[in-house]
Amino acid sequence: LAFHVRGPGYEPVVYQVGPGRAYATIQSAVNAAAAQPASNALVVVFPGAPAQWNPSGVYYENVILYTPVKLQGVGPGGVRNNGSSVLGSVIDGRGVAGDATYAEDWRVFVESLDWDGNQSIYEGPVIYILAQDGEFTNAYPAAIDGFTIQGGDQQGFPNLAPADPGVKNIVAVQGGGIFANAFARYLQITNNILQSNGGAYAGAIRLGTPHLPGAANDNQNDFVRIANNRILANGGTNLAGAIGV
């Protein structure tokens, strides 16, 4: 996992998610961080509260990162050699589909945001990164570290890229684990387990959209670092099964 040693030169504002913490959902903590654009934000996600229907304390969310925060889990969790288990920070994105209230609220929220690059809305990624040009920099690189990311499943026909990337339209549920749309410069994706995700262009990690016309075809996802992840049982229907760049 990434280590965050706070002190002179590194004093992020910490937003804690989990039982007994200030935020019950990951998205609410990201939204709080986005409302304070002058501060560097570290969103720390502890395991959710175990329940009979959710013994692993999974967060059933489709998180939208529209501000350059560091999203930090405490580890992916799992089973030890002796059969005992440890809870981890697990995000499962299977909820944003169909006509459920959550799915509609998700769509309305995304449509309210402003971002640069391809304007089509791709439903279903577990973590969806929508950045404005110049917003993500190396002064405070955005990061996703220490999670299990699962359940981003494609549930619609694998659409081709839209003819006009400047128009906001909703594409059928395309799934995937992490999708960085455009201008997510210096993003770091490290120390995660990405498993059981399926997407139209990439199952686990997708940087940008291929075959866009003109200048839009350069999605400007420059200097992205993908390291020390385990990528298991993911699949893509159009292009990459694991990582699509």
CA distance 205 to 199: 9
Which residue reads 């981003």 in tokens? 152
DSSP conformation letters of 97-141: -TT-HHHHHHHHHHHT---SS---EE---SEEE---TTTS-TTS-
Q: Which of 4-8, 62-66, 106-110, 111-115 has the lowest mean pLDDT?
A: 4-8
What's the pLDDT at 56? 93
Question: Is the model's pLDDT at 239 over the cut of 80?
Answer: no
Mean pLDDT of 66-77: 96
DSSP conformation letters of 59-96: EE--EEE-S--EEEES---EE-TTS-EE---EEE-TTS
Which residue reads 């690059």 in tokens? 117
What's the pLDDT at 163? 53
What's the pLDDT at 79? 87
Digit-coded pLDDT (tens) for 118-157: 999 988 899 999 999 999 999 999 999 999 999 998 776 5
What's the pLDDT at 148? 98
Digit-coded pLDDT (tens) for 165-184: 667 777 766 789 999 999 99
Q: How many C-beta atoms lie closer than 10 Å to residue 232's C-beta?
A: 14
pTM, full prediction: 0.94
What is the percent of the chain where pLDDT is above 90?
69
